[in-house]
Amino acid sequence: MAKRSGEKHQIILDAAVKTFSRSGYHRTRVSDIAREAGVADGTVYLYFNNKEDILISLFQNIMNIFVEELKAELSHRKNANEKLDAIIGYHLRTLGNKPEQARVTQIELRQIDKNINQGISGPLLSYFQLIEEVIEEGKNQALYRQELDTRTARKVIFGAIDEVVTCWIMSSKPYQLIDLKKPVYELLVQGLQ
């Protein structure tokens, strides 16, 4: 039963990714999601409190997997440089492989109310923390300069990757997102040193 519930929960989330990505959050009707998921409108409300809740859950869902997988990737790497490389690579590869998810994360998510941003910032913070830990590690390993402001460096790193993804999403995608890994990495790693 629980499993079944879980399944339908996921089916609706998957349908939401598709419809949000296709039409945008505000132009998507709950009934669109329901139709895409093959359930009745009312059923959506058995699994989510409201429309916004779907978007938040969606993001949390994505980000949890994202952070978890990323952590696994990082565990193989020895030093901060390798880890930074892994972060950039994983970020670009993951969103490059799932443009629909990427659009929701990059564009639609930013349309929600001020107040509800808590639901978003939570999962994001884990990611931010991960990045900051790598920067700190780099400083400890004397790979990055000591005066580096970790917080700011994290913003620069995340902002850079994020923008690269956004540009790709908004474009007609004439290149592979992952191809930008090397230039982005080199720029950032040199900046950190």
Judged by CB under 7 A, does residue 187 bind DNA? no
| Min dist. Cβ of residue 119 to DNA (A) | 14
Binds DNA by CB under 7 A, chosen from 3, 14, 24, 29: 29
Q: Which is nearer to its own copies, 68 or 149 (CB)?
A: 149
Judged by CB under 8 A, does residue 71 bind its own copies? no
**Whole-number Å distance between alpha carbons of 14 and 33:** 9
Judged by CB under 7 A, does residue 98 bind DNA? no
Which of the stretches 30-38, 54-62, 74-82, 156-164 binds its own copies when contact is defined by CB under 8 A?
A: 156-164
| Min dist. Cβ of residue 111 to DNA (A) | 12
Which of the stretches 2-10, 28-36, 38-46, 109-117 binds its own copies when contact is defined by CB under 8 A?
A: 109-117
Q: Which residues neighbour 3 within 8 Å (Cβ) at sequence distance 6 or greater?
A: none
Q: Which is nearer to its own copies, 27 or 71 (CB)?
A: 27
Q: Which is nearer to its own copies, 134 or 153 (CB)?
A: 153
Which of the stretches 13-21, 47-55, 91-99, 103-111 binds DNA when contact is defined by CB under 7 A?
A: 47-55
On whether the CB atoms of residues 86 and 157 are closer than 8 A, the answer is: no
Task: Quote the crossing angle between the two packed helices 99-106 and 51-75, to the nearest 10°.
Answer: 110
Q: What are phi and psi of 171, to 5 degrees?
A: -80, 175
Question: Applying CB under 8 A, which residues contact its own copies?
Answer: 24, 26-27, 107, 110-111, 113-114, 117, 121, 148-149, 152-153, 155-156, 158-164, 166-167, 170, 180, 183-184, 186-193
